[in-house]
């Protein structure tokens, strides 16, 4: 446990000095998601959700603001981890990836340490913005005081697990960047960031439930916007936990496979 | 002790030709190598580019697994007990990579120390000790991107020692270093071995370095070890000893005859040429016959203008050996 904490702090410090060394970066990490949010907000505005529109069954007109804010908060969490996975490429090119694998450190700890560190650095500013936004112009119903910390906790855990998974894929292939570009749009579309999952066709729903983000957003919105009780969301929470465990197992399998592979053809050193 | 027994390594790479058509290519980088390294000993690994030195070092340091054969370090298998082996070995490669350029020297060492589970004051002391050992105390808090090549290489050395490894693999550690830095590095390596009892495997293309440092040398060619001996013996066995150069103003019949007899007696080689000073006689022999030759010249009533002994270098030995192999 102490070792885990050491690795986490080490990755945190490293990524802080490597990637978050200028205020410019924080600035863009705030401005970019805000632009995303407003562009989504105003593209929904022209549609009249009061009438027979399918959207109106799930999101009322006043709810759109907080619906989108929560959606984008989740998305930004997940997106910032995609960034951290992209940093695997320079790590490989520098040769430092090989040095990490030369050491006896727990590979899973490094992967999750990286994810956690990048997450915290990447999202705190937008997180503050969201919280303020939800309070000032969102229509939120925090009936249960534990609702917000619990949903935030689930969001963080699931995002870190997701980030670990992406990092591990980058270990496996130096050309994983392609995969990420491909996965980014479906993540935005199918995990209910902008569009509620129930309006998706059946095959779309199927894809939705492959992303842990879908479960988190459902839980988050139920608790924060509708004031649902713990009991009402418990099935969703259990499903999320199952998905998280599957992702952790998959990640650990990928890491082992990747290391074994690299020992055969020396691919950790190739770039 | 590091024990390498009948180790083979074949790289298998997919090579994509066009669209989805690909073929697998095999490179036999190491073929049936046996070697050992004791603690407190520096072992050199020599050979031309592509001989398989780096591959061998990566296998010993657990980064690659052998295709067949076994490597054990203090009885632990590098494949099965990889994690245990990792904590007692480390590797340093030449060149400017393998560091985080935006971090300072100290931050780099802290990060790599953390990977070995080191932290707190223990790590702090270790870092200060290593920084002073490699002469980087003043630059410790400067980002590595502002370091010179030699400074980066020195930081690399400190990094490789962060876990106080029992065995250290040095893959061309003095690549591109200036003379005095390289010399200091060699002294430091000697200290590590003789005072701290570490076992070191060193590859280098600088032969004087190998000659000066190594207790034993393995010479690799095309993935095979073709020779194994002390540097001194290698030089002697391959190049057939010293070359004695003598310059005389003339060669009379008496000298000619006496020299021929002497040469035959000692199974030596003789070459005669002329230079600006006079006539140059070069005698190559296994045994040192300087005294006998000087005596002969004296007895033949010939003056001696100059005399010098050319000691063969490991370099000559290697070139000769590789020519022979090819
Ligand atoms: N990852 C790899 N995949 C395929 N072949 C490789 C790989 N790494 C090395 N080789 C091949 O294996 C052989 C041995 O390479 P190696 O790097 O071990 O040589 P070396 O003795 O270290 O050479 P140098 O003195 O140039 O550093 C070479 O033919 C090389 O092309
Ligand atoms: Mg090499």
B52 within ligand 1 shell (Cβ under 6 A): yes
Q: Tokens representing A114?
A: 């990286």
Res A271 pLDDT > 60: no
- Report pLDDT digits (tens) over A156-173: 999 999 999 988 988 877
Residue B38 is predicted with a pLDDT of 95
Residue pair B157/B200 in contact (Cβ under 8 Å)? The answer is no
Count of Cβ atoms closer than 10 Å to residue A119 Cβ: 23
Residue B286 is predicted with a pLDDT of 78
* Probe site for chain A from B29, B111, B170 (most A CB atoms < 10 A): B111
Residues in chain A, how many? 271
Distances (CA, A) of B67 to B3, B56, B170: 16, 12, 23
Residue A244 is predicted with a pLDDT of 95
Domain B243-310: give its CATH code. 3.30.70.870
Residue B124 is predicted with a pLDDT of 95
- The segments of chain B whose pLDDT lies below 50 read none
- The torsion region of residue B62 among left (phi > 0), alpha (psi -120 to 50) and beta comes to left
Residue B111 is predicted with a pLDDT of 96
Tell me which residue of B45, B53, B72 sits closest to B215, measured CA to CA. Answer: B45
A47-56, A87-96, B33-42 — which is least confidently predicted? Answer: A47-56
Residue A250 is predicted with a pLDDT of 95
Residue B76 is predicted with a pLDDT of 95
Is the model more confident about B1 or about A150?
Answer: B1
Q: Are B103 and A9 an interchain contact pair (Cβ–Cβ within 8 Å)? A: no
Select from A7, A9, A94 the Cβ nearest to the Cβ of B97.
Answer: A94
Q: Produce one character per residue of A237-246: b if its CB has 16 or more CB atoms within 10 Å, e if not.
A: bebbeebbee
The rounded Å distance from CA B70 to ligand 2 centre is 21
The rounded Å distance from CA B228 to ligand 1 centre is 21
Q: Do domains B2-236 and B243-310 have the same CATH topology?
A: no
- Report pLDDT digits (tens) over B12-38: 877 776 666 777 888 899 999 999 999
Is A18 an 8 Å CB contact of chain B? yes
Residue B326 is predicted with a pLDDT of 52
Residue A43 is predicted with a pLDDT of 74
Is A7 an 8 Å CB contact of chain B? yes
The rounded Å distance from CA A266 to ligand 2 centre is 13
Q: How far is A179 from chain B (nearest CA, A)?
A: 18
Q: Are A265 and B12 an interchain contact pair (Cβ–Cβ within 8 Å)? A: yes
Q: Quick check: ipTM above 0.90?
A: no
Max mean pLDDT range (A104-113, A129-138, B250-259): A104-113
What is the residue extent of each domain of chain B? Answer: 2-236, 243-310
Is A103 an 8 Å CB contact of chain B? yes
Residues of chain B with C-beta less than 8 angstroms from the C-beta of A100: 115
- Report pLDDT digits (tens) over B63-93: 999 999 999 999 999 999 999 999 999 999 8
* Probe site for chain A from B16, B28, B63, B73 (most A CB atoms < 10 A): B63
The architecture CATH gives domain B2-236: 3-Layer(aba) Sandwich (3.40)
Select from A6, A104, A268 the Cβ nearest to the Cβ of B86.
Answer: A104
Is A143 an 8 Å CB contact of chain B? no
Res A49 pLDDT > 60: no
- Report pLDDT digits (tens) over A196-225: 887 788 888 888 888 889 998 888 888 877
Residues of chain A with C-beta less than 8 angstroms from the C-beta of B11: 265-266
B253: CB partners within 8 A, 6+ apart: none
Residue A54 is predicted with a pLDDT of 63
Residues of chain A with C-beta less than 8 angstroms from the C-beta of B101: 94
Is the model more confident about A267 or about B227?
Answer: B227
Residue A57 is predicted with a pLDDT of 67
The rounded Å distance from CA B306 to ligand 2 centre is 43
């Amino acid at each position: 446990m102490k070792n885990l904490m050491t690795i986490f702090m080490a990755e945190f410090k490293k990524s802080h000095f490597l990637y978050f060394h200028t205020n410019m970066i924080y600035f863009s990490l705030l401005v970019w998601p805000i632009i995303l949010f407003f562009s989504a907000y105003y593209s929904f505005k022209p549609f009249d959700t009061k009438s027979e529109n399918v959207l109106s069954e799930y999101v009322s007109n006043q709810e759109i603001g907080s619906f989108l804010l929560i959606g984008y908060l989740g998305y930004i969490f997940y997106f910032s981890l995609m960034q951290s996975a992209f940093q695997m490429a320079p790590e490989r090119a520098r040769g430092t990836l090989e040095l990490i694998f030369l050491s006896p450190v727990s590979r899973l700890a490094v992967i999750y340490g990286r994810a956690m560190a990048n997450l915290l650095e990447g999202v705190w500013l937008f997180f503050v913005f969201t919280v303020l936004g939800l309070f000032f112009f969102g229509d939120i119903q925090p009936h249960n005081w534990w609702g917000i910390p619990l949903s935030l906790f689930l969001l963080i855990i699931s995002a870190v697990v997701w980030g670990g998974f992406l990092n591990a894929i980058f270990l496996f292939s130096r050309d994983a960047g392609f995969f990420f570009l491909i996965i980014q749009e479906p993540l935005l579309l199918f995990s209910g960031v902008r569009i509620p999952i129930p309006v998706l066709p059946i095959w779309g729903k199927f894809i939705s439930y492959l992303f842990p983000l879908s479960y988190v957003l459902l839980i988050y919105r139920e608790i924060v916007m509708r004031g649902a009780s713990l009991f009402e969301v418990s099935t969703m929470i259990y499903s999320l936990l199952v998905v998280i465990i599957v992702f952790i197992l998959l990640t650990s399998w990928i890491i082992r496979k990747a290391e074994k592979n690299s020992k055969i053809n020396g691919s950790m050193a190739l770039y | 002790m590091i024990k390498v027994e009948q180790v083979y390594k074949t790289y298998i790479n997919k090579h994509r030709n066009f669209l989805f058509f690909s073929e697998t290519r095999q490179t036999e980088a190491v073929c049936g190598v046996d070697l050992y390294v004791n603690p407190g000993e520096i072992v050199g690994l020599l050979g031309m580019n592509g001989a398989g030195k780096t591959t061998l070092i990566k296998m010993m340091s657990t980064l690659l697994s052998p295709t067949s054969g076994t490597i054990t370090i203090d009885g632990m298998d590098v494949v099965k007990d990889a994690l245990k082996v990792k904590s007692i070995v480390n590797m340093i490669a030449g060149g400017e990579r393998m560091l985080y350029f935006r971090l300072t020297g100290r931050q780099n060492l802290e990060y790599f120390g953390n990977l070995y589970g080191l932290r707190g004051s223990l790590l702090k002391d270790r870092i200060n000790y290593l920084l002073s050992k490699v002469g980087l105390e003043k630059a410790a808090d400067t980002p590595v991107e502002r370091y010179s090549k030699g400074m980066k290489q020195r930081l690399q050395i400190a990094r490789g020692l962060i876990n106080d490894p029992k065995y250290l693999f040095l893959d061309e550690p003095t690549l591109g270093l200036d003379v005095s830095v390289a010399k200091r590095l060699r002294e430091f390596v000697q200290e590590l071995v003789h005072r701290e009892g570490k076992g070191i495997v060193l590859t280098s293309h600088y032969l004087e370095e190998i000659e000066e440092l190594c207790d034993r040398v393995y010479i690799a060619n095309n993935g095979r070890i073709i020779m194994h001996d002390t540097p001194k013996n290698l030089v002697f066995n391959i190049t057939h000893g010293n070359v004695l150069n003598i310059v005389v103003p003339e060669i009379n019949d008496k000298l000619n005859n006496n020299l021929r007899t002497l040469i035959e007696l000692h199974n030596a080689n003789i070459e005669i040429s002329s230079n600006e000073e006079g006539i140059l006689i070069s005698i190559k022999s296994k045994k040192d016959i300087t005294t006998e030759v000087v005596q002969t010249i004296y007895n033949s009533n010939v003056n001696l203008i100059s005399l010098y002994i050319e000691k063969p270098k490991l370099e000559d030995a290697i070139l000769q050996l590789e020519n022979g192999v090819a």
